[in-house]
């Protein structure tokens, strides 16, 4: 079976604090490590009342310092918000402290609204210069060169794997051109998943980091003892997206028994496509859904987002998902990674 990994935004649930969300993140990462998950990635978002991972590099250090073997990284750092040199220094520092365990996933979106992007002190051309910024960042990790006037210290000469993250064809093309691993954000933007994977694999050019394409796909995965309970837990995620659509992002709300009692039909219909690849149900149900998803995508790695209001229910979901992973590994399958 391919590796399973976790994407976390350190959700701040209603009535709680960012401090508790971050403690929960470390506890969840430790739990994931004990279950054999491969990576634990944190995501950069700003001005979001329900997200505690805005200072992503800091949270990565916190999680890496509290775990021993699991890889820890960014899913991702939104490079238009930052100087490539600063990110090279930050991740060079992380790699120096936790050698062989740090990943650097890079995104092109700002991870924020326009007003917040301006508050981050980055100009509006950031997304347009993303390819050049990625190349500059990669250069800072090259071996020490006496002719290189500006160096990342720590950073130069260190092996920090760089990933390109995306939700469109742009990221797939860039990852293929640079010969980098590629992660598609199908957990919230499923529309172009299959096309992007095809573009990436078809146009991939080998590089010093990677000799053949390596694609990771994402999905929301909510597993509980019964289908009904999993569907109830999933309403917290659905409410998050609905509030964002209304322009009223807030802390993660508790699950409800019936979304239709609170939301208009047109609003609920508007988020159906967002969750095309949401895998929600009992272990038996999710095992069937996941098998189909992996056969369709032929992914090299699977990364799941499991934003659940109750922390213990979230840990239980990861435990059940690991059981699904192990069960799939023992069954005959048509699934063979294509890269």
Burial class for 250, CB neighbours closer than 10 Å (0-12, 13-18, 19+) = middle
Whether 184 is in a domain gets the answer yes
| pLDDT tens-place string over residues 104-130 | 999 998 656 777 777 886 666 666 889
pLDDT at 195 over 60: yes
Q: In whole angstroms, give the CA distance from residue 205 to residue 213.
A: 8
Whether 269 is in a domain gets the answer no
pLDDT at 335 over 80: no
Coil vs helix vs strand at 338: coil
pLDDT confidence bin for 334, thresholds 50/70/90: low
We report the CATH number of the domain holding residue 26 as 3.20.20.30
pTM score of the predicted model: 0.94
pLDDT at 315 over 90: yes
The confidence score (pLDDT) of residue 149 equals 83
Whether 230 is in a domain gets the answer no
Domain encompassing residue 73 = 4-223+277-329
Q: In whole angstroms, give the CA distance from residue 154 to residue 209.
A: 19
Please provide the average confidence, as pLDDT, over all residues in the chain.
93
Largest CA-CA distance found in the chain, in angstroms, rounded: 66
Q: In whole angstroms, give the CA distance from residue 24 to residue 337.
A: 33
Question: Domain tally for the chain?
Answer: 1
Which residues lie across from 304 on neighbouring strands?
6, 219
| pLDDT tens-place string over residues 198-218 | 999 999 999 999 999 999 999
Alpha helices (runs of H) in the chain, residue ranges in sequence order: 18-34, 56-65, 84-97, 114-119, 130-140, 169-178, 193-203, 227-245, 265-272, 283-297, 311-329
| pLDDT tens-place string over residues 9-30 | 999 999 999 999 999 999 999 9
Decide which of 133 and 269 is more confident. 133
Whether 90 is in a domain gets the answer yes
The confidence score (pLDDT) of residue 262 equals 81
């Amino acid at each position: 079976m391919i590796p399973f990994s976790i994407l976390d935004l350190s959700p701040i649930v209603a009535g709680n604090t960012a401090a508790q969300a971050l403690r929960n993140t470390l506890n969840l990462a430790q739990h994931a490590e004990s279950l054999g998950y491969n990576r634990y990635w944190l995501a950069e978002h700003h001005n979001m009342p329900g997200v505690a991972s805005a200072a992503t590099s800091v949270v990565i250090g916190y999680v890496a310092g509290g775990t021993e073997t699991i890889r820890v990284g960014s899913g991702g750092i939104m490079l238009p918000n930052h100087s490539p040199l600063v990110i090279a220094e930050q991740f060079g520092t992380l790699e120096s402290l936790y050698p062989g365990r740090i990943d650097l996933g890079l995104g092109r979106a700002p991870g924020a609204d326009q007003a917040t992007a301006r508050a981050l002190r980055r100009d509006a051309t950031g997304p347009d210069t993303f390819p050049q910024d990625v190349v500059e960042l990669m250069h800072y990790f090259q071996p020490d060169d006496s002719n290189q006037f500006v160096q990342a210290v720590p950073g130069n000469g260190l092996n920090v794997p760089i990933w390109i993250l995306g939700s469109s064809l742009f990221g797939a093309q860039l990852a293929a051109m640079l010969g980098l691993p590629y992660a598609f954000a199908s957990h919230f933007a499923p529309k172009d998943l299959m096309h992007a994977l095809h573009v990436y694999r078809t146009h991939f050019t080998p590089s010093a980091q990677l000799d053949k394409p390596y694609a990771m796909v994402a999905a929301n995965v909510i597993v509980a003892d019964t289908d009904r309970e999993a569907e109830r837990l999933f309403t917290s995620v659905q409410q998050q997206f609905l509030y964002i659509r209304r322009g009223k992002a807030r802390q993660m709300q508790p699950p409800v028994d019936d979304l239709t009692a609170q939301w208009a039909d047109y609003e609920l219909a508007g988020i159906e496509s967002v969750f095309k690849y949401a895998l929600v149900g009992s272990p038996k149900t999710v095992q069937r859904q996941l098998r189909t998803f992996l056969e369709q995508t032929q992914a090299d790695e699977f990364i799941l987002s499991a934003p659940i209001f109750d922390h213990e229910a979230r840990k239980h979901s990861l435990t059940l998902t690991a059981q699904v992973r192990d069960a799939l590994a023992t069954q005959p399958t048509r699934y063979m990674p294509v890269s």
